[in-house]
Structures are given as C-alpha cells and as structure tokens.
Amino acid sequence: MKNLNVVPLALVGIALFTIGCGAPCPPPPPPVDMAALTASIQGMEDAYAAAEAKKDAAAIVEYYADDVISYSKEVPPTVGKEALRQRLAERMATDTLGLTATFKVLEVFPGDDHVTEIGTWTNTDATGVEKDHGTYFSIFKKEGDTWHCIRDIAVSHMPKAEPAAAMAAQ
C-alpha cells in the first residue's frame, strides 16, 4: 500500500523534469544603445522644429503615427494624423507672432516596441527673446525600423495671463 503513494510522486517528478528540460529560453534582447536612441529621437524633434518654422503641417505630421492622440491645453484631444495636420495648419495660418520652437530631449525610457520621451520646449521670437517654455511627454511606437509618436502632451511653465477684462473688474 505504501508503494502506491510512490507512483504518483514519481509521475509528478518525471513531469517536472520533462518541463524543466524543455526548449531553452530565448536569449535576452541586446542592450539598447541609449546614446543612439536619444540622438535618433532628438533628430526627430529637430525635424519637427524645422517643419514648424516653415509652417509645414504635412511635414510635422510625419513625426506621428496614423492613430495618434495629441493632448493640448484648453482643447479636446486631437485624434488621428489628419485631424492633427488640420489643427496644426489652422494654428499656423493664424500665427502672427512668428515664434521659433526648439525641443530638447531630457530622458528616454525604452521598452520592447515603445519609447517614452520627456523633453523641454522653448518658443522664442524673431529677436531671440523667450516667449514661452515648458515640458512635453511623447510616446513612440516602432513601426518597422521607424519610430512614430502615438501620444503626446505639452505643458507651459509660464503662468497663464489674465484677460484684461478680468483684471479691470478686480
């Protein structure tokens, strides 16, 4: 009777041995070259700034994935590349300040097929005087060999200007 308890234990042991001796785990992915990744993302930000300076909304949206969602202050999120191109074109068409944008990558956090970027942005006027600055987050997804932004949000560090009417009422 005691030998009957040994058979199930032996079967469990054989099963565990078989599972443990199965196919080896795949090798870990190669380490990420953070300098190269950061330089690549910075290049994308520089191209964005150059397209912004030319008021070329079509060139700017090359930065984005087709299913992008872009978050901006005081407006609902913009969903989709075409809607974002339209929003950018409308903003550029009414721009009378002629500001120049610059972007600086501060940190990148790579994943398997995603990268999160945190950076700063600055807008200067034609004389080089800073008019606004802030922080942005962008999330990129790798599509083939190319990274495309799928989500972004930017915030200003400048205090919101009070409307003249509200100031006069006080």
DSSP secondary structure letters along 14-66: HHHHHHHTSSPPPPPPPPP-HHHHHHHHHHHHHHHHHHHHTT-HHHHGGGEEE
Which of 53, 48, 42 lies closest to 125 in space, CA to CA?
53
pLDDT digits (tens, 9 = 90+) for 105-137: 999 999 988 999 999 999 999 999 999 999 999
Q: What are the domain boundaries of the chain?
A: 34-158
d(CA 72, CA 134): 12
34-158 belongs to CATH 3.40.50.920: no
pLDDT-derived band at 4, boundaries 50, 70, 90:
low
pLDDT digits (tens, 9 = 90+) for 20-78: 556 677 887 788 899 999 999 999 999 999 999 999 999 999 999 999 999 998 899 99
At residue 139, the pLDDT reads 98
